[in-house]
Amino acid sequence: MHSKMKQTVAAFAVAAAFAAPAKAELTGDLTIFLDTSNPAPRATMEEMIGRFGELHPGLSIETTVIDREAYKTQIRNFLTANAPDVATWYAANRMRPYVEAGLFEDVSDLYAEPEIAEAIASTKGALTIDDKQWGVAYTYYQWGVYYRKDIFAELGLSEPTTWDEEKANCAKIVESGRACYTIGTKYLWTAGGWFDYLNMRTNGFDFHMDLAAGKVSWEDERVKQTFMNWKELIDMGGFIADHQTYSWQEALPFMVKGEAAAYLMGNFAVAPLREAGLTDDQLDFYQFVKINPDVALSEDAPTDTFHIPSNAKNKEAAREFLRYVVSAENQTIINNGDNLGQLPVNANSSVDDDKFLNQGFDMLSNNATGGVAQFWDRDAPAEMAKASMEGFQEFMVKPDELDKILAKLERARGRIYK
């Protein structure tokens, strides 16, 4: 009896070994640094790491959560001195300094794996520098125009797709005594969103990125054209008055009360608008309209990412963790409404049953062929982002001073990029 039992166990062991030959058991330590310090995302990430840990019991995982703002200064330090095996960060230009300093591991091999290659193509561009990939995305969200459907219906308007339709709609909205768009530019970045879209639609994604990288003059005619388009909306009274005194949250009531018809904002604006009493029948979403028909549509979709530092000790386990993070099943869980409530990066994941997330997922998967930008203050260097967003705000208040503002930004460009 006893020996028979042993035999069976041995047989099982052999069978198991043959069934999963590639999956070597992971062992050792895996240290993970997270910047998701707010309670809700923190819980989501810790649960995710818990599930990963259950799959790999041989691995002892140590998670450190660092305050989101403090993380931004500490990352320089720990990537060189005391590197974890996995660290959170942001895509595109925000990871460029660390990629160029050789502090992030090249993970192009992950993107070459068949089950990953197709599935996470939508964020591949944002993680590519010099034709190599330097990390994986774990969540992102769309930007676009959130508008009051009931006001549009009352005025007989439909979702615009071209610049002329957008302006015609706006003229009718202004005529009805409302502003077309609410915005609060007190903290500047909201104006950066408008600039992103107007410039990407006028001059295209590549030009926009060149401008962020300091390769184009601010006094270039093409940049002026972007501002001229913006000026058309400002001059017709499209934006709410005194927007420079409101934060983005303080600008929400204008939309709730129907004093403004639309808000160019990230998807995080939906939750407070719903809480304030707007139903899904009153609130809807459309992609920012085409301006220059020759330009492919590109979108703002700030992307949060995981990277493996070059100095990591357990890169094998770190890679397995990254595989798990982007897997369809995990992406479905962490991005659902109970957790992050954002868009999954894996095309095979199911998106939460939410009309805005579904529209955003569809838009970013199928209708953002020009590229995905990270948002102006992530794409441009911090100093230039600040100077330029101050310029955007000033322009929105005093549109006639454009030449002066652009000259100032051009001087800043000469100083900042060296």
Judged by CB, which is closer to other proteins: 153, or 276?
276
Task: Please report whether residue 252 would count as binding other proteins according to CB under 8 A.
Answer: yes
Which residue bears the tokens 């818990």? 50
Q: Using CB under 8 A, which of the segments 130-138, 268-276, 370-378, 391-399 binds other proteins?
A: 268-276
Identity of the amino acid at 143: W
With beta carbons less than 8 A apart as the criterion, state whether 155 and 360 touch: no
| Distance of closest approach, residue 271 Cβ to other proteins, in angstroms | 8
Q: Using CB under 8 A, which of the segments 94-102, 199-207, 250-258, 402-410 binds other proteins?
A: 250-258
Detail the DSSP E strand segments found in 337-385: 371-373
Task: Please report whether residue 273 would count as binding other proteins according to CB under 8 A.
Answer: yes
| Distance of closest approach, residue 37 Cβ to other proteins, in angstroms | 8
| Distance of closest approach, residue 65 Cβ to other proteins, in angstroms | 8
What dihedral angle (degrees, nearest 10) is formed by the CA atoms of 351, 279, 176, 289? Answer: 0
> What's the gap between Cα 98 and its chain centre?
19
Instruction: Choose, by CB under 8 A, the member of 59, 211, 256, 262 that binds other proteins.
Output: 256
Sign of CA dihedral 164, 204, 192, 307: positive
Instruction: Choose, by CB under 8 A, the member of 41, 84, 184, 391 that binds other proteins.
Output: 41
Rounded Cα distance between 60 and 342, Å, is: 29
Which residue bears the tokens 């962020």? 212
Sites for other proteins among residues 58-97 (CB under 8 A): 66-68, 70
Identity of the amino acid at 109: D
| Distance of closest approach, residue 247 Cβ to other proteins, in angstroms | 8
Task: Name 410's Cβ contacts closer than 8 Å, sequence gap at least 6.
Answer: 217, 218, 219
Instruction: Choose, by CB under 8 A, the member of 109, 275, 329, 338 that binds other proteins.
Output: 275
The footprint of other proteins on this chain (CB under 8 A) covers a number of residues equal to: 24
Task: Please report whether residue 39 would count as binding other proteins according to CB under 8 A.
Answer: yes
| Distance of closest approach, residue 179 Cβ to other proteins, in angstroms | 15
| Distance of closest approach, residue 54 Cβ to other proteins, in angstroms | 26
Task: Name 414's Cβ contacts closer than 8 Å, sequence gap at least 6.
Answer: none
Identity of the amino acid at 224: K
Instruction: Choose, by CB under 8 A, the member of 266, 344, 360, 391 that binds other proteins.
Output: 266
Rounded Cα distance between 283 and 356, Å, is: 10
Detail the DSSP E strand segments found in 108-217: 128-129, 132-133, 136-140, 143-148, 179-181
Sites for other proteins among residues 371-390 (CB under 8 A): none
Task: Please report whether residue 277 would count as binding other proteins according to CB under 8 A.
Answer: yes
| Distance of closest approach, residue 1 Cβ to other proteins, in angstroms | 55
Q: Residue-wise over 25-42: b if at least 16 C-beta within 10 A, else e?
A: ebeeebbbbbbbeeeebb
Q: Using CB under 8 A, which of the segments 106-114, 175-183, 211-219, 270-278 binds other proteins?
A: 270-278
Judged by CB, which is closer to other proteins: 275, or 280?
275
| Distance of closest approach, residue 256 Cβ to other proteins, in angstroms | 6
Question: Exposed/middle/buried for 366, CB within 10 Å: 0-12, 13-18, 19+?
Answer: exposed
Task: Please report whether residue 117 would count as binding other proteins according to CB under 8 A.
Answer: no
Task: Please report whether residue 253 would count as binding other proteins according to CB under 8 A.
Answer: yes
Provide the binding-site residues for other proteins, judged by CB under 8 A. Answer: 37-41, 66-68, 70, 247, 249-250, 252-253, 256-257, 266, 268, 271-273, 275-277
